[in-house]
Amino acid sequence: MDEILEVLMDDARISPEEIAKLTGKSVDSVKKAIKKYEKEGVIVKYKTVLNPDLVRDSKSFVRALIEVSVSPQKDVGFDYIAERIYSFPEVTSCYLVSGAYDLLVVVEGDDIRTVSDFIAAKLSPMEQVRSTTTHFLLQKYKEDGQILKKRAKAKRLNISY
- Dihedral through CA 131, CA 86, CA 53, CA 9, nearest 10? 120
Coil vs helix vs strand at 108: strand
95 in Cβ contact with 104 (< 8 Å): yes
* 124: three-class secondary structure by DSSP: coil
Q: Is the pLDDT of residue 157 over 80?
A: no
Name the pLDDT band for 63 (thresholds 50, 70, 90). very high
**pTM, whole model, 2 decimals?**
0.74
| Residue 119 · residue 132 · CB < 8 Å | yes
CA-closest candidate to residue 46, choices 14, 92, 89, 86: 14
pLDDT at 153 over 80: no
Label residue 154 by pLDDT band (50, 70, 90): low
Distance CA 93, CA 114 (A): 17
List, for residues 98-149, the tens digit of each pLDDT value: 999 999 999 999 999 999 999 999 999 999 999 999 999 988 888 878 888 7
**Is-contact 19 4, C-beta < 8 A?**
yes
Domains along the sequence of the chain with CATH: 3-40 (no CATH), 55-140 (3.30.70.920)
Query: How far is Cα 137 from Cα 105, in angstroms, rounded to an integer?
Result: 13
**Which region among 18-32, 43-57, 75-89, 125-139 has the lowest average model confidence (pLDDT)?**
43-57
Q: What does the pLDDT read at residue 23?
A: 93
**DSSP letter for each residue of 52-100:** HHHHS-GGG-EEEEEEEEE-PBTTTBTHHHHHHHHTSTTEEEEEE--SS
